[in-house]
Structure 1
Amino acid sequence: MSDFGLIKSFDIDNGELDNLSSQQCFVLGYELAQIDSLLSKKDAIHKPVNADNRNRIEAACRESNRPFKLRWLPGDESESWMLLEVPESE
């Protein structure tokens, strides 16, 4: 029998996702898993990310001890997207 458990908390205990559909929540979780995977490698990251994931992505970058910049995506007036930039690590 397999053991199952929490790998990482999403820090969503205070209703942060209450206004989002289950599909949007899935996308945010998938995106965060993708970011975690990218942060485990030494490669640079330069990718648009969903602004609703901002706090979770910032926490993931800090936990991985990787410097990062997270800023609004240029030209996106919706403020739905941000640009995540993480330099290559040594």
Structure 2
Amino acid sequence: MTGIETLAQETSGLYAGLRQTGCRAIGVLRATDPELVDALLATFESHDEAAAWLVGRTIGFGGSSALELLAQGERERVMQVLNHLRYGLCA
């Protein structure tokens, strides 16, 4: 196995772990904040897509993930972005 193949395999494992973390986070949120989970699923229409968005780092969050913002108490900011994604931006 070449160095690049090793790195690609390692990266694949990291992404798989990240997806699992997103799914686990949705499970925890389902118990603690069902309204947020409902908004996630209404926006992304897929548990897997919602989980991926939850742990993905985005420009809209300054390079942080929604999960990181939730851990910092920024629930309203996350809900605001979810609403913008679902309904569009209002001027």
TM-score clears 0.5: no
Query: What's the TM-score bracket when you normalise by the shorter of the two chains?
Result: 0.3 to 0.5
TM-score normalised by the chain length of structure 2: 0.33
Larger Rg: 2
Larger strand fraction of residues: 1
Larger helix fraction of residues: 2
Higher relative contact order, chain-length normalized (CA < 8 Å, sep 6+): 1
TM-score normalised by the chain length of structure 1: 0.34
